[in-house]
Structure 1
């Protein structure tokens, strides 16, 4: 294993005070650092220093951080990215607070990725010595962890190849123009673990963010989250509902700046030898929104 997980999502927000209220008081993230126009957060069941970075000044994605298992994985990924034709630069410890040395590059989809091994360990909110199941005083939704993200690219097939060749990811699900092996890829859901997807890529403009998602446990927690969004006047985009693709339970909603968030629960276990699920465009509504079986235009066109 090289890439273990999505370590952090760094996004822009128009109003930092409004964003802090949303991510701290509605989502229940813990602030770990405030520095200039940036605020750093972690969720209660995460042990590294941060998983979400908010930067005031606009909307959309600044970059993703990907944590690797060994420091040698950084060199390996650097070579593979260069072989793919990507220009790689080195980043030094401290360029990102509490993050060690690593590499930075722009993907074929025009998204900035950082790869690192070292992060300051701050521990979960329940510790590791006879830990409780969850913190007694959760705030808001009380999400336990960052889960995955979905981005757009003009050529999802190229990003599928990039993530496979450079990160060692494999596709668990795809939307293709047909069932043929050489069909064009419209969207792909990719992982390198048993997590159903760590990053998904949908056909669309270069460099855009569709959403980033937080993990929840089950349907009950997803429904409770939707109730809390209504209490806090958080604009709900879609849900609660289920995906056909990944089988996850979901609510999509927007932060105060218009960045789309998701809470996600369930989904099946992925394995490299599991046959990939393939969806065709005629079934895309069912694939994305299993109950309604209709895909509204705003869901794929509203991006930041």
Structure 2
């Protein structure tokens, strides 16, 4: 089957105490493990042990973990990665707490990706036997789980090809210089399932993280999240607003270390045979911020 979904985002923070307050009290994630300089979290509707790892010391991305369906998928992806020209190393079970064995490699964009097949299941906060719609005592925004991320790369086309050849991803939307098939690629939104995107890649400095996002249910959840951010003095980048690209509803904001987060709702279902939506530079403002129809400077210049 290949990649099922993005399983975890492991990021650096400058002050772990401040970060814990943001991700636990404002975002409402549940702490599952504290290793001193690393803390592990999950959302209320996630069943695996963790989806977010915070590590004290700096800012930006340490690595992403992607989950496959079964152990033999690891071997297939390892072979495809080697064929693509990537240097792949094996990781042992437990090297990441509660995560199976798998592989690790550095992408052409200089990001570290890990691929694994299982993680300790601790269950959702509502269980699986006659479950309620949501936990009665949500904290803060109460995000259900991790949704997607956007990274920067000098060569978006090479990253798109890698994600296609190695992970079996397909593009749902793109920004390119013209409508021609050989046009220069500025950004791409990619997935392996019906989620509108699991990973997006935007042209920019190597190895940088633009944002990672949490899923929400609908417009009212997005608006409530923005209200709570104001209550907690969370710096908001932009929103609530809508994307033209993906049609999702959004608020962008920053954690105390300056890593950009997003809450994201809506969007349409993706299918491999759906024609790719193509945006050209004169419409990119409307594509990213559908209502304002222009990009703010922070969105294009701030990354970690």
TM-score w.r.t. the length of structure 1 is 1.00
Distance in 2 between residues matched to 1:238 and 1:159, nearest whole Å: 27
Distance in 1 between residues matched to 2:52 and 2:132, nearest whole Å: 24
Count residues with an aligned counterpart.
Answer: 304
- Counterparts of 1:147-226 in structure 2, within 5 Å, are 147-226=147-226
The question of 1:266 aligning with 2:251 is answered no
Distance in 2 between residues matched to 1:298 and 1:97, nearest whole Å: 35
Q: Deviations over 1:138-164 (max 9, x none)?
A: 000000010000000000110000000
Distance in 2 between residues matched to 1:80 and 1:297, nearest whole Å: 38
Unaligned runs of 5+ in 1: none
Which residue in 2 is equivalent to 1:145?
145
- Counterparts of 1:1-304 in structure 2, within 5 Å, are 1-304=1-304
Shift in Å, 1:297 = 2.4
Distance in 2 between residues matched to 1:81 and 1:302, nearest whole Å: 30
In 1, are the aligned partners of 2:237 and 2:298 still within 8 Å (CA)? no
Distance in 2 between residues matched to 1:226 and 1:12, nearest whole Å: 24
Aligned CA RMSD, in angstroms, stands at 0.4
Q: Deviations over 1:259-293 (max 9, x none)?
A: 00000000000000000000000000000000000
Shift in Å, 1:36 = 2.6
TM-score w.r.t. the length of structure 2 is 1.00
In 1, are the aligned partners of 2:78 and 2:88 still within 8 Å (CA)? yes
Look up the SS of the partner of 1:148 in the other structure: strand
Look up the SS of the partner of 2:109 in the other structure: coil
Moved over 6 A (4+): none
Distance in 2 between residues matched to 1:298 and 1:138, nearest whole Å: 31
Q: Deviations over 1:81-103 (max 9, x none)?
A: 01000000000011100001000
Distance in 2 between residues matched to 1:135 and 1:221, nearest whole Å: 15
Shift in Å, 1:300 = 1.4
Shift in Å, 1:70 = 1.0
Q: Deviations over 1:22-58 (max 9, x none)?
A: 0000000000000130000000000000000000000
Distance in 1 between residues matched to 2:298 and 2:33, nearest whole Å: 35
Distance in 1 between residues matched to 2:182 and 2:297, nearest whole Å: 27
